[in-house]
Structure 1
Amino acid sequence: MIVDFLAGNPLLTLFVVVGGGFLAGRVRLGGFGLGVAGVLFTGIALGALDARLALPDIVYLLGLGLFVYTMGLSAGPGFVRSLRRTGLRWNAFATAAIAAVAAVVAALSWLLDLGPAKGAGFFTGVLTNTPALAGVVERLSGGPDANLPVVAYSMAYPVSVLACLVSIGVLQRVWRVDHAAEARAAGLADHPIHTATARVRRPVSVTEVVRATGGRAVVGRVAHAGALTVAEPGLLLQPGDRVTIVGERDAIADATSMVGETAADRLDTDRSRLDVRRVFVSDPDLVGRRLEDLGLARRFGATVTRVRRGDADSVADLDTVLELGDRVRVLAPPARMREVSRFFGDSYKDLGEVDIASLSLGLALGLLLGAVSLPLPGGGGLSLGFAGGPLVAGLVLGARRRTGPLVWQLPSNVNWSLRQMGLVLFLAGIGTRAGPSFVRTAATADGVMLVVAAFAVCVLASAGLLWLGHRVLRWPMGVATGVLAAVHTQPATLGYAVEQSDNELPERAYAAVYPTAMILKILLAQLLLTIL
């Protein structure tokens, strides 16, 4: 009776799967939980009751497009920056690691006679990559083996996550990793941003101070001849001036020694002539523009000293590029503060709105890109598909930030909401469709074999990656675990790595490698489908 009712109400079925899946994902055993993957397994469980409970294709296709596109938008700027530094080496290492796992899976698929569909699905499960699975499912859409990749993925996914966590936990204890020392060596020790007052003893320009500290300290207020103003770019500080310096403690010390000495009195306690306020950047016209280009000092007698993006504070220098949702700390005369707020937008309501035009056009470009197929020797073709096309489009458009009047980037809160919604739609859709096949396989020797093989492959791959990265290449353990999490594109592994290291190294490595790993696994999964 209940099954019949749900079969006739697919929208109700969708929310039952999503709600029940999130509740299941919160259950933790020994510190391990499925998280959002609980939606997948809830969908499988419900779909196993009756094939009629499978949700329409549009559910998982819409979810997949939203998920990978918004993820690309968010990762685009950081990905491009990372390629100019150490990220290039990290990406080369991750590429080799993923290719090695693909080769091992191909060999196992041949030895165990898994077949193309299960072999490709097993690869996506071992490396816990949902978009890669989506590419395989899309290629097989409508065929008799369309559910087999999801079955193999579902068998391999949870034990692969567990294998990563076990490898990190055991090896960092065996090697007695000192995460605090690694963070200090990388300059990542927790240094909150402070404000101090200095007295100028020698002529020096504001720009020289910022450049000498690498942008880690900036000058805010300047008291000169009884007047209190903001520090304009290029302003020449004179002996006897007092200034406020904003930055980390060591950067403040360097800047203070450069201009003169520490002053006993504090300029920042006087808010009668210059006030401070946090303001939201909600005006899309400011996206992608540098603070230097805004002319705040000339327009309003104001300056920005800090930017809060997400949950992280940073010192604002002239090269800081604004994004929607940034919270800037503005220093301005009290009478001009309202004008400054209007200039930035300062509307939380606007930040919650979605630019439907840019979102739709970006997704359309991604889907068109995904439809392009490159011919393979022996027949068939290779394409980015619904998963890879929007991801690549998101990376490119996210790095550009805007094109003329079109602002591609989304406020961080909107991006996270759309990304999560897209992921759960996809997991619910493919889960309900794979339910009957999963149950048939799980109770067989083949199902047990897939679980054991996935755990063995993932433990060996994870331990090997960590050993090469940390012991051979001498990377900090935080970098090695971040690359491992990115190779698996696995948020649960990243969360555990960050928790263990208590610093930003895993997140830096993860952000640099994640897009490359995602695209490579999408392509390799389809390649395995072709060659097996």
Structure 2
Amino acid sequence: MDWINGLFNIPSALQAMVVISLICSVGLLLGKIRFGGISLGVAFVFFFGIAVGNFGLQIDRQMLMYCENFGLVLFVYTLGLHVGPNFFGSFRNEGTWLNMWAMWVILLGTLMTVGMTYVLGVPMSDMVGILCGATTNTPALGAAQSALEHVGISGAGAALATAVTYPLGVVGVIFAMIFIRKCFVKESDLKVRHKDDDDQTYVGQFLVINPALVGKTILEIAQGTHMKFIISRIWRGGEVILPKGGTQLKRGDNLLVVTNKDEVQGMEILFGQKVKRDWNRDQIDWNHIDSNIESRIVVISQPMLNGKRLGQLHLRDAYGVNVSRVLRGDIKLLATEKLILCYGDQLTIVGRPADLDHAENFLGNSVKTLKEPNIASIFLGMLLGLALGTIPISLPGMDSPIRLGIAGGPIIMGILVGAFGPHLQIISYTTRSASLMLRKLGLSLYLGCLGLDAGKDFLATVVRPEGLLWIGLGFILTIVPVIIIGIIALRTKKYDFGTICGILCGSMANPMALGYANDTMKDETSNISYATVYPLGMFVRVIIAQILVMFFV
């Protein structure tokens, strides 16, 4: 049995991989078990890691830190990459309010920290460490230790307090979300309330009776209004016309128009009359509407088209086809000439079958190519994110610079690459399944190593004289702000429960709780709101840690 002993007890690269694989595989299997109708999913990897560490099974420290940090970086970068294309657009809708809710969670936790210092007599040098552990924010701990050393106080106490409170800080958000769901969430709160926002387009049928448009070309009409629209088909008597920029409109023309949802009323005023027919339902066979006009969805798989504006392709003039809509991930976009195309976009093109074949060859439409994720760009983005996280940022009134760290830098870089990669000709496309796998792999590695590291000293730290007090205070700082703000946000009836979970997880910098939310909600609302509030929330917590030291130590 010596070979078994070598697998688990003799430190080596092989032993590290065996132990981590054991923790992740068993933890994920146990995470599927439901307790009282609730399963913890990937979060159970953390608990099993603590159990393994508590029984004395350990791996080389350098190997442990490498796997933990690599898993965290892989998770946050691919998450940022996933939400990046729609991240900045969210601020035009609800992103600002999502961050405001996160700021309330942070503010309440900070006020409670100051209050506990005065009421219970716990030194702020220890209390700031408790807050960092309760909010699972190691960059904030680093900033607090630098500030403490600047005023001549050792940061060892803060580090120990963080180590004690970190495990319950990780799981406390999950407990808080379970409590909110069991006691306050109704069935209607579990439904995505803003799913319609994913489709930013509207298909309508309009009748030309406005005399000012008769005899004018479509190009002249488009240039004379600020509204954006695409005319997909024109029915003129018994004839079906595929419109071009130079097509002249006549009185009585029936137009099939694709426009933005908020401009439907303007379209009715522009053309004269809206035909009462629902063209936005799911079950429409577009290819049976007209015998000689076909609608086809084509995927952009030609790398040279990444980052090009739709108008630069001249599809209407070169191939005789119109592009009505663009599907990017789950978002339907209006196919305007200024729209910047991304590798993997799905274009709805309309035209005659032979013309569509030629356009399809030009655009690529190679599904096989899209199934191969661009791994090189992922590693390059992670490299740039790590570099970004190490840049010192000096703020007025701060003696020590702050840094975004290995979590903040990669997620911001992922968001930037996802949002602006096409502008720079960077192909960052990954399939939905590949993106989900990379995120779950990274999170599993991070949680397994985190639990293994916390488990070895967990019981010994708890039995320290101040250990139980610190754990109790940290647990209160974790769950109370989350529960209070979560319930208030839920009462507004503005957000679904998945969105609220993402706000709470992002404000607490807690990717493990996000994993639980994803396993529970089965949609992307928690991921989107998490990535929206995480960068600012993490940045503010780093600043707050230094402010607490400056004013209360």
Give the alignment's TM-score, normalised by structure 2. Answer: 0.74
1:323 and 1:286 map into 2 onto residues whose CA distance is 8
1:307/1:425 Cα in 2 relative to 1: closer, same or farther (>3 Å)? Answer: same
Aligned residues: 515
Q: Any stretches of 5+ residues in structure 2 without a counterpart?
A: 146-154, 280-284
1:158 to 166, 171, 185: 171
Letter in 2 for 1:167: I
Deviates more, 1:25-34 or 1:147-156: 147-156
Report whether the alignment pairs 1:65 with 2:78: no
What is the SS of the residue equivalent to 2:109? helix
1:394 to 414, 435, 439: 414
Alpha-carbon shift at residue 262 of structure 1 (Å): 3.4
| 1:439-465 CA-partner distances (Å, limit 9, x unpaired) | 434577866656654554344313442
2:252 and 2:237 map into 1 onto residues whose CA distance is 9
Contact 2:131–2:477 (Cα < 8 Å) also in 1: no
Correspondence list, 1:124-523, <5 A: 126-127=134-135, 129=136, 132-133=137-138, 136=141, 149=162, 151-167=164-180, 170-171=183-184, 188=196, 199-202=207-210, 204=213, 218-224=230-236, 228-232=240-244, 236-245=248-257, 255=267, 258-260=271-273, 262=275, 269-270=288-289, 272-311=291-330, 313=332, 316-318=335-337, 320-374=339-393, 381-402=401-422, 404-408=424-428, 410-441=430-461, 449=469, 452-466=472-486, 476-478=494-496, 483-488=503-508, 490-491=513-514, 510=530, 512-521=532-541
Alpha-carbon shift at residue 302 of structure 1 (Å): 1.8
Alpha-carbon shift at residue 334 of structure 1 (Å): 0.9
Report whether the alignment pairs 1:22 with 2:28: yes
Alpha-carbon shift at residue 86 of structure 1 (Å): 4.8
Report whether the alignment pairs 1:76 with 2:84: yes
What is the SS of the residue equivalent to 1:383? coil
Aligned partner of 2:8 in structure 1 is 6
Aligned partner of 2:152 in structure 1 is none
Letter in 1 for 2:50: I
Letter in 2 for 1:429: C
2:318 and 2:199 map into 1 onto residues whose CA distance is 33
What is the SS of the residue equivalent to 1:415? helix
1:91/1:37 Cα in 2 relative to 1: closer, same or farther (>3 Å)? Answer: same
What is the SS of the residue equivalent to 1:39? helix
1:190/1:343 Cα in 2 relative to 1: closer, same or farther (>3 Å)? Answer: closer
1:187 and 1:213 map into 2 onto residues whose CA distance is 27
Alpha-carbon shift at residue 149 of structure 1 (Å): 3.8
1:310/1:526 Cα in 2 relative to 1: closer, same or farther (>3 Å)? Answer: farther
Letter in 1 for 2:407: A
Letter in 2 for 1:53: I
The structure that has the greater radius of gyration is 2
1:44/1:151 Cα in 2 relative to 1: closer, same or farther (>3 Å)? Answer: farther
Alpha-carbon shift at residue 335 of structure 1 (Å): 0.9
Q: Any stretches of 5+ residues in structure 1 without a counterpart?
A: none
Alpha-carbon shift at residue 342 of structure 1 (Å): 3.0
2:449 and 2:31 map into 1 onto residues whose CA distance is 17
Contact 2:306–2:342 (Cα < 8 Å) also in 1: yes
Letter in 1 for 2:89: R
| 1:470-528 CA-partner distances (Å, limit 9, x unpaired) | 77xx67254766644542454367559968xx9x9877755543432244346656877
Aligned partner of 2:53 in structure 1 is 47
Contact 2:306–2:341 (Cα < 8 Å) also in 1: yes
| 1:411-442 CA-partner distances (Å, limit 9, x unpaired) | 54443333322222222233222221124345
What is the SS of the residue equivalent to 1:401? helix
Alpha-carbon shift at residue 247 of structure 1 (Å): 7.4
Q: What's the Cα RMSD here?
A: 4.8
1:289/1:118 Cα in 2 relative to 1: closer, same or farther (>3 Å)? Answer: farther
1:360/1:460 Cα in 2 relative to 1: closer, same or farther (>3 Å)? Answer: closer
Contact 1:229–1:301 (Cα < 8 Å) also in 2: no
1:267/1:353 Cα in 2 relative to 1: closer, same or farther (>3 Å)? Answer: closer
Contact 1:37–1:427 (Cα < 8 Å) also in 2: yes
Indicate the percent of aligned positions where both proteins have the same amino acid: 25
Alpha-carbon shift at residue 226 of structure 1 (Å): 6.2
1:154/1:430 Cα in 2 relative to 1: closer, same or farther (>3 Å)? Answer: same
1:211 and 1:39 map into 2 onto residues whose CA distance is 60
Contact 2:328–2:346 (Cα < 8 Å) also in 1: yes
1:60/1:349 Cα in 2 relative to 1: closer, same or farther (>3 Å)? Answer: farther
Deviates more, 1:229-238 or 1:60-69: 229-238
What is the SS of the residue equivalent to 2:342? coil
What is the SS of the residue equivalent to 2:343? coil
1:182 and 1:102 map into 2 onto residues whose CA distance is 31
1:346/1:527 Cα in 2 relative to 1: closer, same or farther (>3 Å)? Answer: farther
1:90/1:334 Cα in 2 relative to 1: closer, same or farther (>3 Å)? Answer: same
What is the SS of the residue equivalent to 2:41? coil
1:292 and 1:25 map into 2 onto residues whose CA distance is 49
Deviates more, 1:80-89 or 1:359-368: 80-89
1:38 and 1:118 map into 2 onto residues whose CA distance is 28
Aligned partner of 2:282 in structure 1 is none
Give the alignment's TM-score, normalised by structure 1. Answer: 0.76
